[in-house]
């Protein structure tokens, strides 16, 4: 299946082996259930974002319509359809976080990184994104940087976080 696909993206050997293990978890006729984990795998391989060829690849790999893969990739905010920075900063601005000051947090990151929401720094090290609920509302305000959560965030924490990530 792997070698038949002539596209601009394909899983590297290690991810190809992982993808085979993932597929074994699902009955053959429900292989589209593997869309989510395979998108995660592709995004990991592509430094945090899903290029269109990766979505096409997964569609062909699983033999499911492209629109189905695209629907999943575009629905969940953990998938990035545009290039992101090495450190992808996501600031939750949904109501509980908003009530605990997420707007000020977003603004502080904008000032600190000298970029607007949705942009990447010129050196490609940081990108900043407003995001919907991260599911940790009890510890609002919450941000996520790549796969790490920062909870009960204070405005004063931001400078230190950015400084540590620059090291
Ligand atoms: S509202 Fe921010 S984590 Fe839920």
Q: Is 48 left (phi over 0), alpha (psi -120 to 50) or beta?
A: left
5 assigned to some structural domain: no
What pLDDT was estimated at residue 28?
85
65 assigned to some structural domain: yes
In the chain, how many domains are there? 2
Nearest atom (ligand 1) to Cα of 95? 1
> Residue 1 pLDDT > 60, yes or no?
no
Q: Grade residue 4 by pLDDT with cuts at 50, 70 and 90.
A: very low
31 lines ligand 1 (CB under 6 A): no
Ordered alpha helix ranges (H), 30-121: 35-45, 52-62, 66-75, 95-99, 102-113
CB 85 within 8 A of CB 129: no
> Residue 5 pLDDT > 50, yes or no?
no
136 lines ligand 1 (CB under 6 A): yes
Q: Grade residue 11 by pLDDT with cuts at 50, 70 and 90.
A: very high
161 assigned to some structural domain: yes
What pLDDT was estimated at residue 101?
96
User: Do 19 and 49 fall into the same domain?
Assistant: yes
Nearest atom (ligand 1) to Cα of 96? 1
Which tens digit of pLDDT belongs to each residue from 52-70?
999 999 999 999 999 999 9
pTM: 0.85
Q: Which domain holds residue 62?
A: 13-75
96 lines ligand 1 (CB under 6 A): yes
Domain boundary residue, one of 52, 75, 98: 75
4 assigned to some structural domain: no
CB 115 within 8 A of CB 128: yes
> Residue 6 pLDDT > 70, yes or no?
no
137 lines ligand 1 (CB under 6 A): yes
- The H or E element spanning position 115 is none
> Residue 153 pLDDT > 70, yes or no?
yes
We report the CATH number of the domain holding residue 134 as 3.40.30.10
């Amino acid at each position: 299946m792997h070698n038949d696909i002539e596209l601009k993206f394909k899983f590297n050997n290690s991810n190809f082996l992982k993808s085979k293990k993932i597929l074994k978890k699902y009955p053959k006729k429900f292989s589209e259930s593997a869309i989510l984990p395979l998108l995660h795998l592709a995004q990991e391989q592509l430094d945090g974002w899903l290029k269109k060829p990766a979505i096409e690849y997964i569609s062909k790999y699983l033999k499911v319509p492209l629109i189905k893969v695209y629907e999943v990739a575009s629905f969940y905010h953990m998938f990035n359809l545009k290039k992101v920075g090495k450190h992808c900063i996501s600031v939750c601005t949904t109501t509980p976080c908003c009530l605990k000051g997420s707007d000020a947090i977003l603004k502080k990151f904008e000032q600190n990184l000298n970029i607007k929401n949705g942009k990447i720094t010129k050196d490609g090290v940081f990108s900043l994104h407003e995001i919907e609920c991260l599911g940790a509302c009890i510890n609002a305000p919450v941000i996520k940087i790549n796969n790490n959560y920062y909870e009960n965030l204070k405005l004063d924490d931001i400078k230190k976080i950015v400084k540590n990530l620059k090291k």
